[in-house]
A and B are shown apart, each in its own frame.
Chain A
């Protein structure tokens, strides 16, 4: 690991000032950053440790019915917060489907948004990667790329964003609260992550020194609680990133879909909101025949970036399956195998 300066600011303003210099990065739990630093993928000159900053670790109910999640809230803490899980079950399920119990205990909400792609060519410093080394080329093109992007990719980068948590958050219109030199601003999470285009090294809307202080879910997001699921196909039952995932949230009255939200994970360099599919679902009956049309619409723009055409059909099927699960009665708690397609189709726990 390259040597670095370590600073521990006492206030957000001090943190922003310390992190604004080139080569400075924020340290929260470090579950992704330290791994990247050990591999020589990230080479910061300065670590600005925000874990001792006050006021960033609350889960706060807002007067308007929304919820504000501090950037330093741990993934496990949020997923196991009974009130939060009851109101936002798809978010809890996504959190519990990610990583391992140890990592979920350490990892933070803000860090989850900023985790880097798991593209193996990004991690292997001997490989060409435009994200790590702009202009170097992309060894994932023509390499082992069966897990790479099928939406929104460019010739420069075909990596995917690895987060589970962000997928239902994008579906539910989450907003990111950011503090920077110019004060506080907000960005819808859907706009926060950037597609690769010609600048895959630019990953988010954050300017140098800007710090995520909270993620907010609007009151409206809780209206989907009865019909919200996250479904994730991975190459082993547990402790693996998504091959493809989907977050679905429905508002159903008299078997008719009044409102629908759909986002896909593992398909692009950002959580992929499928608004055309949502439009198709509004006003139709909550039944399988209507789900296929939505799945077609969600993947209409998809194209393989390599040996991964299978992911397009897989994603369609996951959309149909997630819609089917969400339309059924939601399980009382997150199933034993969270977000697993191996759980019973009824949505009940496989081993209740």
Chain B
């Protein structure tokens, strides 16, 4: 039985034919839409490498069935920069060495964007660390990651203040 599902991915609405309901959102992005920026780490919801933002909330795309997310609005790492201009979170990760091998980085960045949007952590590094604990970094770049999240949050706040003014 074939299934058809319609999703908005990085602002583009796509209708995808699925031959099997077992396809996860992660596999749909990587294997069917060639959006390989989202990484498959553990594939069991433990490492966070597959983090994407669905309807404004960061989730593990490996534990989401694509077919169940009919109509969803999905943002992946490929959709965060504006042309050649990096997203402030991407810039902050570079500035603070928030990565080494880079495999977990798309998930870290999507998670950080979600965290900042949630607005629960404030400028408390402990709250940032707790809220980023679903993203493992085997290289151990956690110190830089925490600094990058706090810095990006400050940049985004300043940006939105400027826009309001």
Contact = CB atoms under 8 A, between A and B. Distances in A.
Nearest to B60: A102
A352 B48 CA distance: 27
Interface string B97-111: 000000000000001
Contact of B44 (A5, A29, A35, A80): A35
A331 to B, nearest CB: 13
Interface residues of A, number: 37
Interface stretch (B80-88, B121-129, B154-162): B121-129
Contacts of A5: 1, 21
Contact of A106 (B21, B63, B70, B125): B63
Contacts of A204: none
B124 A102 contact: no
Contacts of A8: 68, 70
B63 A101 contact: no
Contact of A3 (B20, B57, B58, B114): B20
A30 B48 contact: no
Contact of B131 (A6, A101, A103, A351): A101
B45 interface: yes
A205 to B, nearest CB: 27
Q: Tell me the dominant secondary structure on chain B's binding face.
A: mixed
B126 A351 contact: yes
Contacts of B91: none
B63 A35 contact: yes
Nearest to A105: B57
A137 to B, nearest CB: 26
Nearest to B70: A52
B51 interface: yes
Interface in A38-60: 38-39, 47, 49, 51-52
A30 B66 CA distance: 11
A9 to B, nearest CB: 13
A337 interface: yes
A352 B62 CA distance: 35
Contact of B48 (A3, A35, A102, A336): A102
A24 to B, nearest CB: 14
B137 interface: no
B120 to A, nearest CB: 7
A239 B134 contact: yes
B65 A106 contact: no
A106 B126 contact: no
Contacts of B63: 29-31, 34-35, 103, 106
B68 A100 contact: no
B9 interface: no
Contacts of B45: 31, 35, 102-103
Given A34-B65, A351-B124, A102 B130 contact: no
Nearest to B24: A34
B111 A49 contact: no
A235 to B, nearest CB: 13
A310 interface: no
Nearest to B21: A6
Interface of B: 1, 3, 20-22, 24, 43-45, 48, 51, 57-60, 62-65, 67-68, 70, 111, 114-115, 118, 120, 124-127, 129-135
7 contacts: A6-B3, A31-B60, A100-B135, A101-B132, A102-B134, A103-B134, A336-B127
Interface of A: 1, 3-6, 8, 27, 29-31, 34-35, 38-39, 47, 49, 51-52, 74, 76, 80, 99-103, 105-106, 237-239, 336-338, 350-352
Given A3-B20, A29-B64, A350-B126, 17 more contacts: A3-B22, A4-B21, A6-B21, A27-B68, A31-B45, A34-B64, A35-B45, A35-B63, A99-B134, A100-B133, A100-B135, A101-B118, A102-B48, A103-B59, A103-B60, A103-B134, A337-B130
